Amino acid sequence: MYAQILEERRQSIGTGGDVGRTRSIRCETASVSGAVSQRACVYCGARVVLNPITDAFHLVHGPIGCASYTWDIRGSLSSGSELYRNSFSTDLQERDVIFGGAEKLARAIDEAVERYRPPLIFVYCTCIVGVIGDDVDAVCRSAEARHGVRVIPVKAPGFSGSKSTGYRLACEALMKLLEGHEWDGEREGVNILGDYNLAGEMWIIVGYMRRLGIPVAATFTGDASFERLLRAPRARLNVVQCAGSMMYLANLMEETFGIPWVKASFFGLEDTSTALRQVADLVGDDEIRRRAREFTEERSRETAKLVGPYHGRLAGKRAAIFVGGGFKAISLVRQFREMGMETVLVGTQTGKADEYEVLGRLVGPDTVILDDANPAELERFLVERGADILVGGVKERPLAYKLGIAFCDHNHERKHALAGYEGVENFTREVASSILSPVWRHARG
Amino acid sequence: MLDLTPKTLADRKALRINPCKTCQPVGALYAALGVHRCMPHSHGSQGCVSYHRTFLTRHFKEPAIAASSSFTEGASVFGGGANLRAAVKNIFDVYDPDIIAVHTTCLSETIGDDLNAYILEMDIPDDKLVVHANTPSYVGSHVTGYANMVAGFIRYLADPRAPKGDRIAVFPGFVNPGDIRELKHLLARMGKDFIMFPDQCGVMDAPMKGVYEMYPDGGTPIDDVRALGGCRHVYALGHAASEEPADVLDKKCRVPNTVLPLPVGVAATDAFVMAVAAGGAVPEDIEDERGRLLDLMLDVNPHLHERKLAIFGDPDTVAGLTAFALELGMHPKFVITGTPGEAFVHRTEDILAGYGVGDCTVKAASDLFELHQMVKNHPVDLLVGSSYGKQIAKAEDIPFVRLGFPILDRYAHSYMPMVGYRGAMRIVELLAGAIMDRYDRDCADEDLEAVM
């Protein structure tokens, strides 16, 4: 027997038959109290966006948990400093909660500078910092003056919104970083926004740009460094990959620096090729456009040849998708279609109304669409729609396996790049390796 | 990654670097998963529970369910009572557990939410239960949270009027399902009628059956938690994890207890077996298990004797591993935990003194940055602890054995025991394997031999 669907949750669950036609999906709201939500919090949102800045000192001001849980978790790779992979915290104790933690924070910053001399310090304030009344702004200002390095507070108590709120806070922190670095000279190339270099994906995208002859000014924030980020205002265009986390920054940069943006997904053959051609059209000359055309055609052909043998074995299988953002979900639906697979369930933690509309138009009428799902709902629809594989994050993996459904991680635990043409190959292999595992022979009676 | 760690030790008063602990609620959540048909509930922001579930899933490779009060700005100002009421109603309506085990967070503790009052005033369906424990994240560690939640169940449920019988109870401590299965094996061989509490077997190592069960077939039945009040004796394993709950049970229901170290290694397992046997005979097949362990320890002695090692992790686990390392003739040089509390230091120093080891640094409330500095200054032959040691092991090129919590980068550990004689055999296999693999890796070609 399936668990009930909570009354408050009904508006967050629809199908391809009605979403975008007769109704919309309720989203971007707080989780229902008591729900076993798969969602994270404001701090988490801010942390995942800023964490890949490799030479920054990421200092968590609060009790130890939030620093422990975000210690080296994301799989963002670095070509330079590895400072960001450590866990730094003020580890607030009971006496700090009673007497205030501002002094301890100031001292922790001093100790950090003494040991690591970072060019940039982010101070993440977790749930209780505001409640105990620490004046973090003042501590950060005075530390900046004392040490001559940027110390940027990120006030991200978990209760102050959703993970998306945290994305916005991170974007604001990044804008604060760029203040005073306006560029009057000639503009060149692009910034890449919303890729976090998981398994080296930023390197793949930057490699493509180089191949086409398009310079990359700064990357947000995969494999970023303090110095490189400051070059961002020199770019002609912002290419936004993970729209959920970075559209806000793209808009701010358009207002402040006059840099236009384009959304571009590098997941799947079709989306990758479209993205590259689009960027070439927007910033390139005829030569670059020609290169983009040739490169995308050549790589598409090669990749299609490589993944071709798998398609026969995957065609007709049914996919379920539960990921962080809507833009990625849209790409994944298309990618499964390229593989001859139908998406029977698609949901996100933080998708937006317009993205759910696109999904509604993209999927079949019986496909379930849902926002902020809980395990009971996922279980119910996975079984009901006969999914063969679930694409999700760490919390969904064992759920899928228990149900006898294959799984592919498209979140923090991926060790193979899933972006670009290389990503199409890896993704196809991963999906195939799970669906075709011989273990299922023994598991399904 | 750790090439920035300086060799020179300098005083650090405010900055925690690479912790050797996490916060209370995740321990409370794990404890609550050891009760049958229980929904753990985090009274705080929704991110907490997301992190805790992820953390547990990464260690156990199992779904870890828990609900959240999902605090908003309003709740953080006016208190989380309304959120908790709504949550409890929703959880019973939708997920239908028999019991909800609420733990607090740094936020709900700081704003002063009174869980006792909230739960008293709440409408709870007749056949359902709500219990709670205070688990402020800024006190102790995840081990403290585990102990507090276990004590919380006892405060609410253990029945002082439960009929007194011959049953015993065992509090297994903060260990894996594989350990609990090993304890059950020993108890069953000794013919004991026992209550294991809490008991994550079947929940955090649920078999694959092609269905997802939110409440799998496992966990201590609620009636057994009630019946703790009638037990003849409690064997509480691990001081940090089990002493407090045993005390609470004694105060509430006058059930006497024996607090023992986690049964890791020969002497500690002996102590557990003898205590449980309570003067009765120990069955021959347990004697044989012990004999096989001793046999193995003699066999492996040339490879382990006088090897220096550093051990880090949770206090009970680390104390147990230190004792067993000494029994193997190894030489612990650094023994640290992130969990605060000097009792751990005294107990561990006593164990070391029993083997005449006076030059081992034992520290509570330490972190892995400090441990790294220690082993940089005084190299060891082996590092033992959670996955977070792998960076140190790589930076200093030390053989590394993963034992403890959490293990995020290997498989099968949660099914395997560390406790009991057979658990000790597994530890020997891991320790000796790591050291001998290293020898094979580093030795000259002419020294690489099939026979070792």
N- to C-terminal Cα separation, chain A: 20
The CA distance from B434 to B413, in Å, is 16
Report the DSSP beta bridge partners of residue B129. Answer: B99
The pLDDT of residue A444 is 64
Nearest to B70 among A31, A82, A93 (CB): A31
Strands A120-125 and A56-61: parallel
Tokens of B420: 């009991």
Residues A269 and A375 in one domain: no
Query: Over the range B52-71, which residues count as b (16 or more CB within 10 Å of their CB) and which as e?
Result: bbbbbbbbbbbbbbbbbbbb
**Strand arrangement, sheet containing B400-402:** B361-363, B331-337, B308-313, B382-385, B400-402
- Using a CB-CB cut-off of 8 Å, the residues of chain A touching B68 are 31, 33-37
Which three-class secondary structure string do you get for chain B? Answer: CCCCCCCCCCCCCCCEECECCCCHHHHHHHHHCCECCEEEEEECCHHHHHHHHHHHHHHHCCCCCCEECCCCHHHHHHCCHHHHHHHHHHHHHHCCCCEEEEEECHHHHHCCCCHHHHHHCCCCCCCCEEEEECCCCCCCCHHHHHHHHHHHHHHHHCCCCCCCCCCEEEECCCCCHHHHHHHHHHHHHCCCCEEECCCCCCCCCCCCCCCCCCCCCCCECHHHHHHHHHCCEEEEECHHHHHHHHHHHHHHHCCCEEEECCCCCHHHHHHHHHHHHCCCCCCHHHHHHHHHHHHHHHHHHHHHCCCEEEEEECHHHHHHHHHHHHHCCCEEEEEEECCCCHHHHHHHHHHHHHCCCCCCEEECCCEHHHHHHHHHHCCCCEEEECHHHHHHHHHHCCCEEECCCCCCCCCCHHHCCCCHHHHHHHHHHHHHHHHHHHHHHHCCHHHCCCCC
Where is A56: in which H helix or E strand?
strand A56-61
**Strand arrangement, sheet containing A216-221:** A216-221, A190-195, A237-240, A261-263
Between vectors from CA B375 to CA B370 and to CA B376, what angle results, nearest 5°? Answer: 95
* Number of domains chain A is built from: 3
Q: Do B70 and A68 touch (CB under 8 A)?
A: no
The CATH number given to whatever domain includes residue A364 is: 3.40.50.1980
Q: Do A398 and B63 touch (CB under 8 A)?
A: yes
Decide: helix, strand or coil at residue A207: helix
The single residue listed with the structure tokens 């935990």 is B337
Q: Do A33 and B90 touch (CB under 8 A)?
A: yes
The type of residue at B244 is E
Between vectors from CA B418 to CA B414 and to CA B422, what angle results, nearest 5°? Answer: 115
Is the distance from CB of A16 to CB of A364 less than 8 angstroms? yes
Residues A168 and A61 in one domain: yes
The phi and psi torsions of B400 (rounded to 5 degrees) equal -135, 130
Q: Where are the domains of chain B?
A: 24-157, 168-277, 284-447
- Using a CB-CB cut-off of 8 Å, the residues of chain B touching A44 are 47, 50-51
Residues A47 and A173 in one domain: yes
Residues A46 and A69 in one domain: yes
Contacts of B102 (CB under 8 A, 6+ apart): B41, B42, B43, B84, B115, B119, B130, B131, B132, B133
DSSP annotation of A220 reads E
> Last residue of a domain, which of A239, A258, A293?
A293
Domain that holds residue A284: 190-293
The pLDDT of residue A1 is 37
Length of chain A measured in residues: 445
Is the distance from CB of A159 to CB of B49 less than 8 angstroms? no
Q: Do B138 and A92 touch (CB under 8 A)?
A: yes
A280 Cα distance to chain centroid: 24
Interface of B with A in 70-99 (CB under 8 A): 70-73, 75-76, 83-84, 86-91, 93-96
The reply to whether B26 touches chain A by the CB within 8 Å rule is yes
Tokens of B449: 């031999």
Interface of B with A in 347-386 (CB under 8 A): 369
The CA distance from B122 to B131, in Å, is 12
The ipTM (two decimal places) reads: 0.96
Half-sphere exposure of residue B274, counting CA atoms within 13 Å on the CB side? 8
Residue A300 placed within a domain:
no
Axis crossing angle, helix A326-338 with helix A353-362, rounded to the nearest 10: 10
| CATH architecture, domain defined by B168-277 | 3-Layer(aba) Sandwich (3.40)
Decide: helix, strand or coil at residue A219: strand
Residue A303 placed within a domain:
no
Largest Cα span, chain B: 77
Is the distance from CB of A213 to CB of A284 less than 8 angstroms? yes
The single residue listed with the structure tokens 């049970």 is B249
Is the distance from CB of B214 to CB of A403 less than 8 angstroms? no
Domain B168-277 shares a fold with domain B284-447: yes
The nearest alpha carbon in chain B to A90 belongs to B15
Which region holds residue A287: left if phi is over 0, alpha if psi is between -120 and 50, else beta? alpha
Question: What number does CATH give the domain B284-447?
Answer: 3.40.50.1980
The single residue listed with the structure tokens 């500078």 is A113
Residues A165 and A255 in one domain: no
The nearest alpha carbon in chain B to A84 belongs to B1
Q: Do A114 and B10 touch (CB under 8 A)?
A: yes
The CA distance from B104 to B114, in Å, is 10
Q: Do B22 and A69 touch (CB under 8 A)?
A: yes
Mean pLDDT for the stretch of residues B148-159: 98
Mutation pick from A10, A127, A151, A405 vs chain B, by most beta carbons of B within 10 Å, is: A127
The CA distance from A358 to A363, in Å, is 9
Residues A197 and A269 in one domain: yes
Q: Do B46 and A132 touch (CB under 8 A)?
A: no
Q: Do A68 and B21 touch (CB under 8 A)?
A: yes
Where is A283: in which H helix or E strand?
helix A269-283
Residues A77 and A160 in one domain: yes
User: Residues of chain B with pLDDT > 90: what percent?
Assistant: 95
Is the distance from CB of A348 to CB of A365 less than 8 angstroms? no
Residues A20 and A144 in one domain: no
The pLDDT of residue A36 is 85
- Using a CB-CB cut-off of 8 Å, the residues of chain A touching B69 are 33-34
Residues A323 and A425 in one domain: yes
Residue A215 placed within a domain:
yes
The nearest alpha carbon in chain A to B65 belongs to A36
* Best mean pLDDT range from A352-356, B1-5, B376-380: B376-380
Contacts of A16 (CB under 8 A, 6+ apart): A359, A360, A362, A363, A364, A365, A366, A367, A369
Q: Do A39 and B51 touch (CB under 8 A)?
A: no
> Last residue of a domain, which of A156, A177, A198?
A177
- Using a CB-CB cut-off of 8 Å, the residues of chain A touching B88 are 34
The CA distance from B62 to B53, in Å, is 10
Position B4 confidence tier, pLDDT thresholds 50, 70, 90? confident
Hey, which CATH number is domain B24-157, 2.10.10.90, 3.30.420.10, 3.40.50.1980, 2.60.40.1930?
3.40.50.1980
Residues A267 and A332 in one domain: no
- Using a CB-CB cut-off of 8 Å, the residues of chain A touching B215 are none
- pLDDT in single tens digits along all 445 residues of chain A: 345 677 778 889 999 988 888 888 888 877 788 888 778 899 999 999 999 999 999 999 999 999 999 998 778 999 999 999 999 999 999 999 999 999 999 999 999 999 999 999 999 999 999 999 999 999 999 999 999 999 999 999 999 998 889 999 999 999 999 999 999 999 999 999 999 999 999 999 999 999 999 999 999 999 999 999 999 999 999 999 987 889 999 999 999 999 999 999 999 999 999 999 999 999 999 999 999 999 999 999 999 999 999 989 999 999 999 998 898 999 999 999 999 999 999 999 888 999 999 999 999 999 999 998 888 889 999 999 999 999 998 889 999 999 999 999 998 888 899 999 999 999 999 999 999 999 998 886 4
The pLDDT of residue B289 is 98
Half-sphere exposure of residue A399, counting CA atoms within 13 Å on the CB side? 28
> Last residue of a domain, which of A152, A177, A202?
A177
The CA distance from A64 to A59, in Å, is 11
Of the candidates A348, A343, A347, the one whose C-alpha atom is nearest the C-alpha of residue A333 is A343
Tokens of A232: 């961002």
pLDDT at B339 over 60: yes
Q: Do B47 and A68 touch (CB under 8 A)?
A: no
Decide: helix, strand or coil at residue A436: coil
The reply to whether B67 touches chain A by the CB within 8 Å rule is yes
- Using a CB-CB cut-off of 8 Å, the residues of chain B touching A83 are 4
Of the candidates B98, B101, B111, the one whose C-alpha atom is nearest the C-alpha of residue B28 is B101
| C-beta atoms surrounding A148 within 10 Å | 9
- Using a CB-CB cut-off of 8 Å, the residues of chain A touching B364 are none
**How near does any CA of chain B get to the CA of A126, in Å?**
9
Of the candidates A408, A253, A241, the one whose C-alpha atom is nearest the C-alpha of residue A325 is A241
The pLDDT of residue A239 is 98
The type of residue at A277 is R
Tokens of B174: 């903060």
- Which tens digit of pLDDT belongs to each residue from B266-305? 999 999 999 999 999 999 999 999 999 999 999 999 999 9
Report the DSSP beta bridge partners of residue A167. Answer: none
